[in-house]
Amino acid sequence: MREFPHILALEGSPSFTKRLKKELEHLQLSCDLRTVKSPQSFLQAIKTETPDALIVGSASESSDPMSVLVSVRALNASIPVMVVLEKSDLETGIQCLKSGATGVVPKSKHEQLALLLKEAFNVPN
C-alpha distances (whole Å) from 69 to each of 1, 80, 93 are 26, 11, 12
Domains and CATH numbers, the chain: 6-120 (3.40.50.2300)
Question: Is the pLDDT reported for residue 45 higher than 60?
Answer: yes
Model confidence at 65, in pLDDT bands (50, 70, 90)? confident
Give me the half-sphere count of Cα atoms (radius 13 Å) on the Cβ side of residue 82. Answer: 27
C-alpha distances (whole Å) from 10 to each of 26, 36, 46, 61, 110 are 22, 5, 11, 13, 15
> Mind listing the pLDDT tens digit for each residue in 82-97?
999 887 678 888 999 9
When pLDDT is averaged across residues 89-109 and rounded to a whole number, the result is 90
What is the Cα–Cα distance from 10 to 18, expressed in whole angstroms? 14
Question: Is the pLDDT reported for residue 1 higher than 60?
Answer: no
Mean pLDDT for all residues in the chain: 87
